[in-house]
Structure 1
Amino acid sequence: MPQLASVSPLDHGIAEPPPEISPACYRARHAAMQQRMHAAGLDWLVVYGDREHSANLAYLTGFDPRFEEALLLVAADGRMRLLVGNECLGYLPDAALGIEIELFQELSLPGQARDASRPLDRLLADVGIGPGQRVGCVGWKVFDGALIAGGALASELPAYLIDALRARCGAIDAVRNATGLFIDPADGLRLRCEPEQIVRFEYAAGITSAGVRAVVAALRPGVREDMLERMLDARGLPLSCHRMLSVGAKARRGLASPGAGRAQLGDSFTCAFGVSGALTCRAGAIAAGPADLPAGLAEFYPSFAANYFAVTRAWYQALAVGVPARSVFHAADGLRDPALFDFAVNPGHALHLDEWVHSAFTATSDVMLASGMVLQMDIIPVSRGPFCTANAEDGVVLADAALRAALAATAPACWERMQARRAWMQQALGITLHESVLPLADTTGWFAPYALAPDQALVW
């Protein structure tokens, strides 16, 4: 049963920055993409990216547009042309990838010059998009529910682009949503991470977990949110979401950015920090124990926090390569006390350059968890009693024997850290992981509900 014990998380520090993804790795991704295109009967892929939604584009090119939008046109024979706006002409992918570049100024910000580009229709015709061809559009969503019409024909890409593509191809149904090739929770290309990518994500998790741990250690009555936020140092990595940090009543708005609010004894707090490849979140009470909490909450919160830990432990312990995602959902939900809290969203999801790729963690999912998946424990409890907070989000990667051997051979320091975390989670926290589950952060599984007693964590 959950109980408080004197436990501090591991502290490996932040690793040396790993190498960038190699051209060879990108070429392997391009080859896999071409195979998917052929299987889907597509002549072209049009991959769209903007400042917030650039993960699919960056997965293929290492390029994430700054300030503006970008389009990658991919032919079935492997030819690629990247369309960029004015400012990104000075910020382009590695030339070794062999991607053609063209300026298309309508991707630029409003008011900038539009006098040095070809019209879109002429540009599409020049690359070879024309009548009778099938085009797959890649954005960041798939529309497989009943809330909007269109199904596979629906796209979140700009209407002017979809209209131009359909005009070129001569049929509405020739242009379809192909985002699932990259983000499908069962077999999307980005749901299978290579050792190179895993090492970079483990580095990212070291950054986010160190930052959030520093914030929790510095929480005390009187400290201001914006002073704490300075501890969330991204080390130059792009943010995958804005920094979130709130205390007191503002913590009800968990997505809020830090401001000038000051912590008070008995407040709730929440803090989340995400960079490309990782997110760490912690939430709890600014207290040393129940005696510091307001009347009513002092009786409720110990059970709330303990049940939250039990549910997260069940989630981690249910993970394994080859397990259906619904089994993980039911393992966690089966221990949730419905009198205490509900899940705010799915209790987990796939993680990549973007914080949320897709989620297979539903009650009825048939998706089988597979080697190479990077998964985020995302159990956000919504209290059924007095308002209070608890959160202990971190990520893991699933790895079969072959991937584990590859990581041990190519990234021994990273491998040893992951093995140390596995042992610590079992010995210190009472969380036993399947051999295929590799924790990415030193804080994985660690939940100290009372910020003024950070060495008192829940264990089993």
Structure 2
Amino acid sequence: MTSVNYKQVGLPDFGTPTVCPELSGGIYRARFDRLLAAKKAAGLDTLVVYADREHCANLHYLTGFDPRFEEALMVVADRRVPLILTGPENLGRAAAAAIEVEARVYPPFGLLGQDRTRTPPLADLLADAGVAAGARVGLIGWKYFTGQESRTPELWSELPAYIVETIRAVAGDGGRVVNANTLMMANETGLRAINEIDQLAQFEFAASQASEAIKRMLFGIRPGMSEYEAVGLMQLVGIPLSCHVMLSTGARAVGLSSPSGKAIEIGDAFTSAVGLWGALTSRAGWFVAGEEQLPEAARDYLDRLAKPYFACAAEWYATIGIGVTGGEMDALARRHLGDPFFNLILNPGHLIHLDEWMNTPVYPGSGERFQSGQAVQCDIIPAVGDPYFTTNIEDGIILLDERGRAAFREAHPEAWGRIEARRAFMDDALGIKLKPEVLPLSNMPAYLPPFILAPERALTLR
């Protein structure tokens, strides 16, 4: 591709939405109907959906309810109102779910020390809700397994053992309890792989907020600030997080670390990320104003790491589209960054949803194709290590065919205006031409300032 340049770039104000689009009750009811159809097609009698604070995306997708502090379990059987079991603090929120449910307290799902003297047997609750002897029961949590891990991956479950053992005991020897997460999370056929227009608009809202938070921090940070003070610049507004807020510098600069009271000094390695439901923005580089402030051994950071990385990311954006296979995207990244020096540690791209990483069709030889309605994260991470540290330009896009784009434009014109402006910026300022179906969500679309103290200078193809 065209050689990469490092120069002054005017990052526009794309606007920040203040009202999050709502999902109607009809959307949730349609999702539940699709779940029932998927259950039937899989030959399952009953589904049991588990959630906790870290793993709530599947339950929230189906009901609009996510447990906080506690756990929850939803039992879905034919011709029955779904039962949600949760702890006492979440009972009211569960009862207010977006679909009709019966909500009941199961004290062991609550916090330690609360009264459990009236705890009904879990086996009785499950049986009353539709887990019958001899039933084929599908378990939905947050991951599924393959033949790479087990000869019988369908029998492996990530749910807590006491729940799985109780369900198996109720189903009995004539029943079968299997992992059913593919119904929700498979790349091409999972219910959460393809999103409604309003859900995608929610993701655009979250991405605008996450990227603006990182932008405020990048353009406001100064030497001597503590990591805590730098995160304070983000001005997060309270949208639920999909991961802990990350910021670490110097010897602490490890990708997933939370901020500390450490003072940020010129010459520090730097990494930060904000993940909200449906979006994540991350940037990494060096806390310097120019190459002369880099460690002596990394003075060729731009040519050795940052520019090849940006060339890869730019081609990633220009290549992805409806019908493109994950194998093509994987091969693209490895063509650019396959040298062991770059040490790619994750699949270069994945589906994003309420959870930061839902699944990924991007792996060597993958024939799985990207589809209209998917939300995709550009997530290419070179774990180079000393002395170069790393670089990162992580943001999300959505894919919509012509019909989907027309529907989005009509339903959410302000969000559509921001998307069009981002596309124009990537083309005009950065030299990245996107396919019509590729809609960037970040207010820092493909904007990579490798030196944090020069945030107005970025890498481009022009």
CA-CA distance at 1:320 after TM superposition: 0.5
Structure 2 residue aligned with 1:262: 263
Structure 2 residue aligned with 1:242: 244
* Partners of 1:8 and 1:454 within 8 A in 2: no
Q: Deviations over 1:130-154 (max 9, x none)?
A: 1221110001011114335641010
Q: Which moved more, 1:167-176 or 1:388-397?
A: 167-176
Structure 2 residue aligned with 1:412: 413
Residue of 24, 27, 32 corresponding to 1:25: 27
* Partners of 2:213 and 2:233 within 8 A in 1: yes
* Partners of 1:166 and 1:172 within 8 A in 2: no
The whole-number CA distance in structure 1 between the counterparts of 2:97 and 2:163 is 26
Residue of 94, 99, 104 corresponding to 1:102: 104
Q: Which moved more, 1:92-101 or 1:321-330?
A: 92-101
Structure 2 residue aligned with 1:284: 285
Aligned-partner residue type, residue 195 of structure 1: I
* Partners of 1:340 and 1:385 within 8 A in 2: no
The whole-number CA distance in structure 1 between the counterparts of 2:418 and 2:312 is 25
Aligned-partner residue type, residue 438 of structure 1: L
Structure 2 residue aligned with 1:183: 185
Structure 2 residue aligned with 1:327: 328
CA-CA distance at 1:221 after TM superposition: 2.1
Residue of 12, 15, 23 corresponding to 1:13: 15
The whole-number CA distance in structure 1 between the counterparts of 2:355 and 2:338 is 31
Q: Deviations over 1:378-420 (max 9, x none)?
A: 1111116623221110000011112111101111111111111
Residue of 38, 44, 59 corresponding to 2:40: 38
Q: Deviations over 1:178-221 (max 9, x none)?
A: 01111111221111111111111101001110111111112332
* Partners of 1:321 and 1:436 within 8 A in 2: yes
Q: Which moved more, 1:318-327 or 1:144-153?
A: 144-153
Q: Which moved more, 1:13-22 or 1:44-53?
A: 13-22
The whole-number CA distance in structure 1 between the counterparts of 2:82 and 2:130 is 12
Residue of 132, 136, 153 corresponding to 1:151: 153
Q: Secondary structure at 2:459's aligned position in 1?
A: strand
**Matched pairs, number:** 459
CA, structure 1 residues 98+250, in 2 after alignment: closer, same or farther (shift >3 Å)?
same
Structure 2 residue aligned with 1:68: 70
The whole-number CA distance in structure 1 between the counterparts of 2:338 and 2:291 is 20
Structure 1 residue aligned with 2:337: 336
Counterparts of residues 311-326 of structure 1 (less than 5 Å): 311-326=312-327
Q: Which moved more, 1:331-340 or 1:357-366?
A: 331-340
Aligned-partner residue type, residue 258 of structure 1: P
Q: Which moved more, 1:191-200 or 1:13-22?
A: 13-22
CA-CA distance at 1:318 after TM superposition: 1.3
* Partners of 1:316 and 1:431 within 8 A in 2: yes
CA-CA distance at 1:289 after TM superposition: 1.4
Q: Deviations over 1:116-141 (max 9, x none)?
A: 34211111221222122111000101
* Partners of 1:300 and 1:386 within 8 A in 2: no
Q: Give runs of ≥4 in structure 1 deviating > 4 Å.
A: none
Q: Which moved more, 1:24-33 or 1:94-103?
A: 94-103
Q: Deviations over 1:83-134 (max 9, x none)?
A: 1111112323535621111111121112211133421111122122212211
Structure 2 residue aligned with 1:440: 441
Q: Secondary structure at 2:192's aligned position in 1?
A: helix
Structure 2 residue aligned with 1:115: 117
Q: Does 2:393 correspond to 1:371?
A: no
The whole-number CA distance in structure 2 between the counterparts of 1:167 and 1:454 is 59
* Partners of 1:239 and 1:275 within 8 A in 2: yes
Aligned-partner residue type, residue 359 of structure 2: H
CA-CA distance at 1:454 after TM superposition: 1.0
Structure 2 residue aligned with 1:211: 213
Q: Which runs of 5+ in 2 are unaligned?
A: none
* Partners of 1:220 and 1:265 within 8 A in 2: no
CA, structure 1 residues 320+93, in 2 after alignment: closer, same or farther (shift >3 Å)?
farther
Q: What is the root-mean-square deviation in Å for CA atoms of aligned residues?
A: 1.6
* Partners of 2:135 and 2:174 within 8 A in 1: no
Counterparts of residues 343-422 of structure 1 (less than 5 Å): 343-383=344-384, 386-422=387-423
Q: Deviations over 1:351-394 (max 9, x none)?
A: 00010111111111111100111011111111166232211100
Identity value in percent: 42
Q: Deviations over 1:310-358 (max 9, x none)?
A: 1111111111111111111112221226164121211111100010111
Structure 2 residue aligned with 1:124: 126
Structure 1 residue aligned with 2:198: 196
The whole-number CA distance in structure 2 between the counterparts of 1:93 and 1:420 is 42
